[in-house]
Chains A and B, each alone.
Chain A
Amino acid sequence: MRLDAEGRRGLTLISPTLIYALVMLAAPLAMVVTFSFWTQNYLDIDTTFTLDNYHEAWTQPIYQTLMARSLIISVVVTVVTVLLAFPVAYYISFRVTRRKTLWLFLVTIPFWTSYLLRVFLWKVILGYNGVLNSALMGMGFIDEPLTFLLYNANAVVLTLAHAWAPFAILPIFVALEKIDRSLLEAAEDLGDGPWRRFRRVTLPLAMPGVIAATLIVLIPTVGDFITPRLVGGTDGLMIANMIQIQVGRANNAPLGAALAISSMVVVGTLSVLIFLVGRRFGGRTR
């Protein structure tokens, strides 16, 4: 293939990113896909093509349970996060008139500490002798510490929803900022009260931001393994923890790879569905 000067310049410009993406993303992904069709023997790997790993991943009850739980947890996290993020984004976009940048800056404050530290902080808050239990006992509301706070799926939802909030707030904020304010006045002028106007104009026009926020939160949380590991207990384990176990302790990388690819397909399908449904709800794209 011959390239003209412009084509060469374009390729040069994108090549650092391209090489990075190929080496760090495409190559590992290709490796994982390849691995998923192999078989682990005790010390070596049988490289004959097989679908056994996928068969196991899709039929064994434990994997089904973990996959379902991961999906449920991340869907709940996503719903909670987006529902809580929307009012914040709305407030900053519509009510804050001065120093919007400062408000956005404040939203990012949780990111100033590491993700791991934040998860540990939730342990401190929710634990048996944690802040919440001590406070409630100190005030006399309860006689002994509550145990349903930590080491279960609720704790995972809470921790993840907190951690991902800014990622949901920002795209919704951007979508709300882009709404021409005269459209809102037009809706009011044509007889809409605040709520009806929100339903008929603001929400449909903010839909691209809501879809973006949903996908940004949903996709990574399905695969999260630190949070379930630290605050999830046994009830809160997710598919990523199982993948980690298979690749690590269980010494069955091919099965781990098959689980990873399977969850990728599931999340991918779900994302496409959400995208299509969201677009429909947001009205015809015009």
Chain B
Amino acid sequence: MTMDTTTTPRSIIELKDVRKSYGKVTALHGIDATIREGEFFSLLGPSGCGKTTLLRLIAGFDEPTSGSIEIDGKPMAGISANRRPTNMVFQSYAIFPHLSVAENVGYGLVPKRMPKAEIAAEVDKALRMVDLSGYGDRGAHELSGGQRQRVALARALVMRPKVVLLDEPLSALDKKLREQMQVELRALQQSIGITFILVTHDQEEAMIMSDRIAVMFDGHIAQLDSPQALYRHPVSERVASFIGVMNFLPATAKAAGEGELALDIAALGAVTLPVAAVPEGISPAKVTKIGVRPEMLTVLFDDSDHAERVTEGVVVSTSYYGDMTYYSIVLDGAEKPVTISMRNTAGRAVAPVGARLRIGWGAESIVLFS
């Protein structure tokens, strides 16, 4: 491999035009992606988008209809799951019910003809890694959901795989535990440096944990980027509304000076942007819509607040979250309300429904769509 390892990490998985159909149903339409060594990579999308199918193709439980999958530089065609350098954490955890925790974790080591003591040491190490020291003798039914998830993870890690595959591993846990496990999983992945590929439908989970995310819709990768880039520069309306909340407003492109784009945005007014702000793949004249995130709009509560641009609107409803308040506000000249999030600070009351407020925004915060 001639890749410059100092700037770009080595690639561990190469997907080239991977397609999968089941009879007449096409689950994946040509997936191209490179997954880098040591990164936390997420496949994010609604159910039925093909993310689990793709994970199972990587694991070797299914063969792609066409296209190639390379893991660590080796083509995987015809190599069954038991010979691939990947290990999976299943959605149901798939803990063997007839074996103890230690036997579960050591399951993959037993056929390797390792001495018993060595296996026991490896199992202990893996259990320590997932904070389950001393649980080795317990039975599968004696474990809570979170513990089962840890056992499944330890069972995969003990095999020292090149890639760990996680199929919605946290979806069965309650909210508190899930949030805790997200942080733990991320920390563990960073400390051991193994590539993790996570399948999830929870955009927040993907954002918190991942280095890069592939957003998938209908068997395609719609966008593959870092969480920040996905959030700040979504390439389509669909990606924008799947990741976080986005307010969409109609806009009209107008002729402007060299290297500039003039937009007339409903309810916000006219704005001139450098053409460089137009995302790739959209011709400046075809911009018909802009998006702006709730936190990029600011309610100006007193005259001292200052903003690049100011417009006005009427509060139609509010949702109080403790740290934040979400306002639904109909801007002057708009039909549908926009969502604006404001951090609650000491001494600031939530504006009542019907109140007329000044809203500040900046041209830099808007995203363009065709």
**A and B are interacting partners:** yes
Which residues of A are at the interface with B, using a C-beta cutoff of 8 A? Answer: 180, 182-183, 185-193, 196, 200-201, 204-205, 282-284, 286
Q: Which of A185, A196, A205 contacts B94 (CB 8 A)?
A: A185
CA of A200 to CA of B104, assembled, Å: 11
Knowing A284-B100, A286-B97, A286-B98, say if A191 contacts B90 (CB, 8 Å): no
Q: Which of B98, B100, B111 contacts A191 (CB 8 A)?
A: B111
Asked if A282 and B107 make an inter-chain contact with CB atoms under 8 angstroms apart, the answer reads no
Q: Which of B81, B91, B98, B159 contacts A188 (CB 8 A)?
A: B81
CA of A201 to CA of B142, assembled, Å: 19
Q: Which residues of A contact B142 (CB under 8 A)?
A: 286
Asked if B94 and A183 make an inter-chain contact with CB atoms under 8 angstroms apart, the answer reads yes
Q: Which of A189, A200, A286 contacts B88 (CB 8 A)?
A: A189
CA of A189 to CA of B81, assembled, Å: 5
Asked if B82 and A284 make an inter-chain contact with CB atoms under 8 angstroms apart, the answer reads no
Asked if A190 and B139 make an inter-chain contact with CB atoms under 8 angstroms apart, the answer reads no
- 5 A-B contacts (beta carbon < 8 Å): A185-B90, A190-B87, A191-B111, A196-B111, A284-B139
Asked if B94 and A180 make an inter-chain contact with CB atoms under 8 angstroms apart, the answer reads yes
B195: min CB distance to chain A, Å? 16
Which residues of B are at the interface with A, using a C-beta cutoff of 8 A? Answer: 59, 61, 80-83, 86-88, 90-92, 94, 96-100, 107-108, 111-112, 139-142, 155, 159
CA of A192 to CA of B142, assembled, Å: 26
CA of A284 to CA of B102, assembled, Å: 13
A192: min CB distance to chain B, Å? 6
* Top-8 shortest CB links A-B: A190-B108, A286-B139, A283-B98, A186-B94, A182-B94, A188-B81, A189-B88, A182-B90
By beta carbon, the residue of chain B nearest A181 is: B94
Given known contacts A188-B61, A204-B98, A282-B98, what 13 new A-B pairs fall within 8 Å (CB)?
A185-B90, A185-B94, A187-B96, A188-B82, A189-B81, A189-B87, A190-B87, A190-B155, A284-B98, A284-B100, A286-B97, A286-B139, A286-B142
CA of A200 to CA of B97, assembled, Å: 12
B52: min CB distance to chain A, Å? 12
By beta carbon, the residue of chain B nearest A183 is: B94
B155: min CB distance to chain A, Å? 7
Q: Which of B96, B112, B140 contacts A201 (CB 8 A)?
A: B96
Asked if A188 and B92 make an inter-chain contact with CB atoms under 8 angstroms apart, the answer reads no
Asked if B92 and A182 make an inter-chain contact with CB atoms under 8 angstroms apart, the answer reads yes
CA of A187 to CA of B99, assembled, Å: 12
Asked if B80 and A188 make an inter-chain contact with CB atoms under 8 angstroms apart, the answer reads yes
CA of A282 to CA of B112, assembled, Å: 23
Q: Which residues of B contact A283 (CB under 8 A)?
A: 98-99
CA of A144 to CA of B51, assembled, Å: 69
Q: Which residues of B contact A191 (CB under 8 A)?
A: 82-83, 108, 111-112, 159
A270: min CB distance to chain B, Å? 25
Q: Which residues of A contact B80 (CB under 8 A)?
A: 188
B23: min CB distance to chain A, Å? 13
CA of A189 to CA of B167, assembled, Å: 13
Q: Which residues of B contact A187 (CB under 8 A)?
A: 96, 107
A227: min CB distance to chain B, Å? 37
Asked if A185 and B61 make an inter-chain contact with CB atoms under 8 angstroms apart, the answer reads yes
Q: Which residues of A contact B100 (CB under 8 A)?
A: 284, 286
A180: min CB distance to chain B, Å? 7
CA of A182 to CA of B165, assembled, Å: 14
Asked if B96 and A186 make an inter-chain contact with CB atoms under 8 angstroms apart, the answer reads yes
CA of A142 to CA of B107, assembled, Å: 54
Q: Which of A183, A189, A196, A282 contacts B96 (CB 8 A)?
A: A183
Q: Which residues of A contact B139 (CB under 8 A)?
A: 284, 286
CA of A200 to CA of B99, assembled, Å: 10
Asked if B140 and A286 make an inter-chain contact with CB atoms under 8 angstroms apart, the answer reads yes
By beta carbon, the residue of chain B nearest A197 is: B82
Asked if A205 and B87 make an inter-chain contact with CB atoms under 8 angstroms apart, the answer reads no
Q: Which residues of B contact A189 (CB under 8 A)?
A: 59, 61, 81-82, 86-88
Q: Which of A187, A190, A286 has the most CB of B within 10 A?
A: A190
B309: min CB distance to chain A, Å? 54
CA of A182 to CA of B90, assembled, Å: 7
Q: Which residues of A contact B90 (CB under 8 A)?
A: 182, 185-186
CA of A188 to CA of B80, assembled, Å: 9
By beta carbon, the residue of chain B nearest A204 is: B98
CA of A20 to CA of B118, assembled, Å: 61
Asked if B81 and A286 make an inter-chain contact with CB atoms under 8 angstroms apart, the answer reads no
Q: Which residues of A contact B81 (CB under 8 A)?
A: 185, 188-189
Q: Which of A180, A187, A192, A286 has the most CB of B within 10 A?
A: A286
Q: Which residues of A contact B91 (CB under 8 A)?
A: 182
Q: Which residues of A contact B155 (CB under 8 A)?
A: 186, 190
Q: Which residues of A contact B108 (CB under 8 A)?
A: 190-191
CA of A183 to CA of B100, assembled, Å: 14
B303: min CB distance to chain A, Å? 62
CA of A182 to CA of B140, assembled, Å: 15
